[in-house]
Amino acid sequence: MKSIYWIRNDLRLADNPALVAAVRSGETIPIYIHDPKTTYKWRAGAASKVWLHHSLKALELSYENKGGKLFFRKGDPLKLFPELVRSEDIQAVYWNKSYEPESQRIENELEKILSEMGVRVRSYSSYLFFEPGTVLTKQQTPYKVFTPFYNTALKQLEAKPPLPPPVKIDTPETIHGAVQLDELELLPSYLWWKKLVDHWNFGENAAGKMLDEFLDAKIIRYSTERDFLASHTTSKLSPYLHHGEISPNQLLWTIQQQANSGVSVEARNSSDAFIRQLIWREFAYSLLFYHPQTPDEPLHAQFSSFPWQDNDSLFVKWKNGETGYPVVDTAMRELWETGSMHNRARMIVASFLTKDLLIPWQRGAEWFWDTLFDADLANNTFGWQWTAGCGADASPYYRIFNPETQSRKFDNLAEYLKKWLPELRKLDHKAIHAPWKISSSQLENAGIKLGKEYPYPIVDHSQAREKALQLYQLWKFGLSSAD
Ligand SMILES: Cc1cc2nc3c(=O)[nH]c(=O)nc-3n(C[C@H](O)[C@H](O)[C@H](O)COP(=O)(O)OP(=O)(O)OC[C@H]3O[C@@H](n4cnc5c(N)ncnc54)[C@H](O)[C@@H]3O)c2cc1C
């Protein structure tokens, strides 16, 4: 029997149920399809495509090492599959499920088309611990708050021994219409991405090494230090998880094996804290499943009438890391340089955009979508709505991060600030968090003139905070008087 194994966010050979099933059935065509003409708003952003290119290159090599080939095609999968079924005489199609609303729509349509053609379709779960819709309240309704979701999820959570990669993969030599990876044109012609890729290694082996490094050297401090901006204790696995270079089950299994082998209380606490973060990811996917409109609209619909004050020039300053608030600028520069950003920094810059600048969260989410290597529709939507105060279990609107306090608390020695803001490096670790507060002689000694080497703050945080709170009260009052 000849089959197709359709690859999307599962760029690995190990712990891959669809690949294992396809290989068991006989000769298979592992294929990645890129649709450059899709008009879907949340198609892969620029940074994601750069990651995809490099990861697919690594995967291509893995297939060659198993005696097989990875094929690429360009076009609409709904049109290409029927053509491939006919030209390659295909009897079955295998895939691992993907959970964005658009990929689910395509999967459903494709399943119908293939079934009508008499082709057997088999789909598998490996992207999440739980299929969305399987962690439910006693009344069988979805959770809207994280902690009870987490408690129920923990009771249902079970790591399975990861599936080994196939020993050999039997594929044809060629297929009709195949193109080379470069012809997918995932890499932009302007080489801005070159500096980003220097910070990462791509593919399944790189993900495994990252996990080993996390377990050997970092996890022990994860529960106590992960919020510190320069601590390097988080796993940095999010882009690998997003692109499926590692499965959540592989992570859970490995961590539980280590935890069961008699480790300290600190290590156990850290494993628990890490698994809790993985369950935030499950929660975000559950929310996206039940509220597929939320990448564009607030979960709490009343927030649609919130009087945001969009402003292009302030938005550009935020994007470029030129706000005059060192911690915000550092985080935005880290994003430009590495395609990534620490979780706490994401919260700080998101709070600054939505509350100090009153710019709609959707603009921030779109910028992250284009620039993050781990851009993920469920997690990004959840993170932005949470910070803006309009999502599930959200940080309340009146919780407005003070960038200076956050900076002093989570980067006390200014290691993070000094890494990405060279123009402020000569300031000492106490002064650097708020350069507008220090004397002109101190600035002069460090070779800085505010407004020249480094900007004045684009807003005054305390005034911006008051303004945001007033606006919120007026808006809420308007809502309640209209009720
Ligand atoms: C405004 C905003 C936008 C965000 N956008 C994204 C995004 O596009 N993609 C993305 O993967 N994460 C996003 N996050 C969540 C979080 O910031 C990243 O997952 C985390 O920084 C990744 O680093 P890590 O792999 O070292 O995390 P670790 O601390 O090592 O956590 C392990 C894994 O758990 C998951 N995780 C951790 N924190 C969260 C969280 N708060 N919500 C959901 N899952 C989580 C991730 O898959 C992560 O890789 C966003 C958060 C905010 C506040």
Nearest CA to ligand 1 atom 38: 277
Q: CA–CA separation, 111 vs 92, rounded Å? A: 11
Quote the ligand 1 centre to 344 CA distance (angstroms). Answer: 10
Quote the ligand 1 centre to 159 CA distance (angstroms). Answer: 21
Atom of ligand 1 nearest to the CA of 242: 11
In SS3 terms, 67-110 reads as: CCCCEEEECCHHHHHHHHHHHHCCCEEEEECCCCHHHHHHHHHH
| Spatial contact of 1 and 92, defined as CB atoms under 8 Å apart | yes
Q: Which of 25-29, 97-101, 184-188, 471-475 has the lowest mean pLDDT?
A: 471-475
Quote the ligand 1 centre to 183 CA distance (angstroms). Answer: 31
321 token code pair = 């890391």
In SS3 terms, 160-172 reads as: CCCCCCCCCCCCC
pLDDT by residue (tens digit) across 259-298?
777 667 777 888 999 999 999 999 999 999 999 999 999 9
Of 222, 235, 232, 231, whose CA–CA distance to 411 is shortest?
231
Ligand 1 pocket by C-beta < 6 Å: which residues? Answer: 226, 234-238, 241-242, 277-278, 280-281, 284, 343, 346-347, 350, 368, 372, 374-376, 379-380, 382-384, 387
pTM of the model: 0.97
CA distances, 193 to each of 137, 286, 336 (Å): 44, 32, 9
Q: Looking up tokens 């597929």, which residue turns up?
A: 292
Helix (H, G, I), strand (E, B) or coil at 323: coil
128-161+203-290 with 301-482: one CATH topology?
Answer: no
Mean pLDDT value across residues 24-45 = 97
- 265 versus 475: the higher-pLDDT residue is 475
Atom of ligand 1 nearest to the CA of 349: 1
pLDDT by residue (tens digit) across 363-405?
999 999 999 999 999 999 999 999 999 998 777 788 899 999 9
Provide the 8-state DSSP code for 356. Answer: I
Mean pLDDT value across residues 301-329 = 96
| Spatial contact of 269 and 221, defined as CB atoms under 8 Å apart | no
Task: Indicate the average pLDDT of the chain.
Answer: 95
Atom of ligand 1 nearest to the CA of 239: 11
Q: Looking up tokens 């993985």, which residue turns up?
A: 278
pLDDT classification of 2: cutoffs 50, 70, 90: very high
Mean pLDDT value across residues 116-126 = 98
31 token code pair = 């294929």
Quote the ligand 1 centre to 442 CA distance (angstroms). Answer: 38
CA 292 to chain centre: 17
- What's the confidence (pLDDT) of residue 296? 98
CA dihedral 348, 350, 352, 356 (to 10 degrees): -140
Residues 6 or more apart whose CB falls under 8 angstroms from that of 303 comprise 388, 389, 390
Quote the ligand 1 centre to 446 CA distance (angstroms). Answer: 36
Q: Does domain 128-161+203-290 have CATH number 1.10.10.10?
A: no
pLDDT by residue (tens digit) across 85-95?
999 999 999 99
283 token code pair = 């929660």
Atom of ligand 1 nearest to the CA of 240: 49
Burial class (CB within 10 angstroms; exposed 0-12, middle 13-18, buried 19+) of 73: buried
Residue 97 pLDDT > 70:
yes
Strand partners, 72: 32, 179
Count of CB atoms situated within 10 Å of the CB of 192: 11
pLDDT by residue (tens digit) across 36-50?
999 999 999 999 999
Q: Does domain 301-482 have CATH number 1.10.579.10?
A: yes
Q: Choose the residue to mutate in 288, 373, 374, 377 for probing ligand 1, maximizing ligand atoms within 8 Å of C-beta.
A: 374
- What's the confidence (pLDDT) of residue 396? 79
pLDDT by residue (tens digit) across 431-466?
999 999 999 999 999 999 999 999 999 999 999 999
Mean pLDDT value across residues 343-362 = 98
Helices (H), 372-429: 377-388, 403-410, 415-420
Q: Choose the residue to mutate in 247, 343, 373 for probing ligand 1, maximizing ligand atoms within 8 Å of C-beta.
A: 343
Mean pLDDT value across residues 220-244 = 94
Q: List the chain domain ranges.
A: 1-126, 128-161+203-290, 301-482
CA dihedral sign of residues 432, 437, 440, 442: negative
- What's the confidence (pLDDT) of residue 483? 47
- Helix, strand, coil % over all residues of the chain, rounded to 5: 55, 5, 40
Classify domain 1-126 at the CATH class level: alpha beta
Nearest CA to ligand 1 atom 47: 238
Long-range contacts of 156-160 (CB under 8 A, 24+ apart): 156/130, 157/129, 157/252, 157/275, 157/279, 159/249, 159/252, 159/253, 159/256, 160/249, 160/253
- H or E element that contains 122: strand 120-124
Atom of ligand 1 nearest to the CA of 214: 30
State percent of the chain over pLDDT 70: 99
- What's the confidence (pLDDT) of residue 263? 67
